Structure 1
Amino acid sequence: RVLGLGSARTRLAAGVLRGLTPFVGRKKELEHLKDCYDRAKEGQGQVIGVVGEPGVGKSRILLELIRLLPQEECTYLEGQCLHYGETMAYLPMLDMLRSYFDIKEGERDFVIKKKMEDKVIHLEEKLKDILPPLHEIHSLKVEDEEYLKLEPQKKRERVFEGIRNLLIRESKNRPLVLAVENLQWIDKTSEEFLSYLIGSLANAHIMLVILYRPEYTPPWVSKTYYSQVRVDQLSINTSAELVQLILKEGEVVPELSELVLNRAAGNPLFMEEF
């Protein structure tokens, strides 16, 4: 879960560690996400695109959503797309899977394989045929001779099916909230997998939240269970409120407040780091 991050892997994680600025001006957006979770919990899968310019608070809205959700009620998995990762297949999905299987940095291959096998078989015995494709995308030795004989396209199909079946089956135990950040940098394989997964979500207990900048256009916007949350710059009044809260120690000099407001132009990150 986001709140359990032990290192400052992202800017938001670093903010959690040092203490976040107050959350203001995003009540409507957060309520929409919570409504989508409630629908997903009842078996009406949801896909939500959270779109906005850098620094407007997309990741912060996601964090506030996770804080609202009962930890004992759902499972949260997240993946990151990186600006240098567009050629790294399955990058955000590997983030999610490592978290799901509790894979630690530097663990030996046999330990990772044992964790995968134990978790998959405990979930459902007949799912064990997803292990070879999972091993392959984690760069682990694959010992299944039948899988090794498959053509690359068939292997890819097995990977897609395996990850999808794992997530769908897990969501029957408790709702899944999946998040992928920075889709404007997503690798082609991961984008194609997400399209494949989204095609199976209509009746799943899964909420998929995707965060991206306006220059990216998702290929699944026509789905009836897709909705978009547009995160704009804060209004003048809300920006002024945030500046007052950030500079709460002592009386805020009007000139300083005005300077921050003018320079930040409604961008919460710029206000925080000014």
Structure 2
Amino acid sequence: MNALFPAPDIPTIRLRVLSLGAGVQSTTLALMAAHGEVGPLPDCAIFSDTCWEPRAVYEHLAWLRSPNVLPFPVHVVSDGDIREGLIRGARGERWASIPAFTKSKSGKVGMIRRQCTKELKIAPIRRKVRELAGIAGKRSPKHPIVEQWIAISFDEVIRMKPSFEAWQVNRFPLIEKGMTRRHCLRWLEKHGYPTPPKSACIGCPFHSDGAWRRMRDEDPEAWADAVAIDGLIRSGFRGLCGEVFLHRSCVPLDEADLDTLEDRGQLDLFANECEGMCGV
């Protein structure tokens, strides 16, 4: 265990919940708990569905929820379809904004404020946690009664954030153990488990060029969907004068240069407000 990040020891905790993104890190954490390598055993895991994950993620989630894989239940919650929300937003309706890129008539490039993680990931999980803890619709306790496990790995330690709720404490078991994403992959391989797919919305603007390229080359269904949505969201959003794009180059997605030898890498913006709920 990493002495810099010890596990919390809070006697008032009565519910332990694992936030499950169904990616590499959260899958590893869930299976490590099942093997008794992290404890105490969580009471459940919660997957928050934006309804726009790749097919492989849903197939992997179904495997995790199948009998004899995890010794605790996996609850699936949702606060709406982010894809349909984008389409509504382009019609001038209210939407949970994603960090898409904008380009003004003068050529200035900007980025839209990110609301999707808070509204479509964090909020539904928090609501379910309150229900499971027996405090839905009630005054919140002033001391921690819930321990929420977040599967951020040691190489993403910058994404660690404390809970802003007095009744809940965040715990980061992979960081406690000093485990990076690579360590997680090795652990899964050692135990004969499948490699989880990348957990992220199909049209997430945080995709690296490599991720877009893999989608184009290996998942044509998802690629065609992303290209179609990218074309639909060019204008129409309330309060936005410029054009909207999924790719940072501010050109249509199917025209973006994804084949450069130097992959520009994923934007280092997850730490802004994601609280570890996306991409793990």
Structures share fold, TM-score greater than 0.5: no
What TM-score, normalized to structure 1? Answer: 0.28
What TM-score, normalized to structure 2? Answer: 0.28
Task: State the structure with bigger RCO (CA 8 A, min sep 6), 1 or 2.
Answer: 1
Max radius of gyration: which structure?
1
